[in-house]
Copies of this chain bind each other. A is one copy, B any other.
């Protein structure tokens, strides 16, 4: 980077002190209109840009947010990033993105990096592998505000923004039952994730409402396309195959559709399927997927807004906030 114009350059050229220049630039009331004008004119002429790093050092702030996220390529997360970036942009913050790639080890590194980079606050959705949260506790110990979203934990004293997993799941399964499903399988996320528990619980209660007995044989851990396709393929061949599926995300749901087709089962004739996410793909697959909209963009916005609010507060009597983002059943063709 080329040597940049500094206030010293301006001060010398104008035969005044750096402090006067500094004050003129920031419209300090003491400065005479004449000098102010002269300084600003020359600054504009020379293309002066304040050195953010010097400012950072002085103020001990970076106006930068850290984002630790499992994988950008997943539609839901990219929608969230979109929302986060939008709010950050409007408030003149920048966002540093760190992917954990669902690896605990890398996530620990990310937490280090975030600390090293002296970001003002951090947004986190942790990896599936993560069961120990001490790397995040370290951030909190350093009094860096942390907001968790989607993948959250109660082990830490921090704000949380999550989808209404229970409600979304309830709506989904209720819909399947109303479509006549009797044997509804659930493809679940790991149960150490709150969202995994919440969605299972919504599934459970929707059955309960319709007096359908809960059967743990119908619960599977399957939250990726590959694993879901494989498991669906297996269980759809059984004589007592499920007639409905509620999956933890859209990729899993689409995998079930594929498996059903492979086996010449009609969707939604023989098998009804509801996903969770409302990704772009949900509207593209065939049949189009009935799913629960998670409003990732709004979730990202909300998480970022809460973080920015925390940054403003600066007070110590801290009471973690939990924000639940609404969900909505989007009925398409698959159920």
Contacts and interface: CB of A to CB of B under 8 A. Distances in A.
Given A1-B143, A281-B281, A118 B82 contact: no
A234 interface: no
Contact of A73 (B49, B53, B75, B285): B75
B62 A53 contact: yes
Contacts of A1: 60, 118, 120, 142-144
A52 B281 contact: no
A254 B281 CA distance: 10
Contacts of A108: none
Contacts of A85: 72, 97-99
A42 interface: no
Interface in A35-73: 49-54, 56-57, 60, 62, 64, 71-73
Contacts of A98: 85, 89, 94
B78 A82 contact: no
Contacts of A118: 1, 51-53
A53 B71 CA distance: 28
Nearest to A56: B53
A238 interface: no
B64 A73 contact: no
Total copies of the chain? 2
> What's the interface size class on A, roughly?
35 or more
B99 A97 contact: no
A315 interface: no
Interface stretch (A109-117, A147-155, A161-169, A211-219): A109-117
A335 interface: no
A96 B99 contact: no
Interface in A92-137: 94-99, 106, 109, 113, 115-118, 120
A239 B199 CA distance: 51
Interface of A: 1-2, 4, 49-54, 56-57, 60, 62, 64, 71-73, 75, 78-79, 81-82, 85-86, 89, 94-99, 106, 109, 113, 115-118, 120, 141-144, 254, 258, 280-281, 284-286
Question: Top 9 closest A-B pairs, CB basis?
Answer: A286-B286, A2-B143, A53-B56, A73-B78, A72-B78, A53-B57, A281-B281, A284-B285, A78-B78
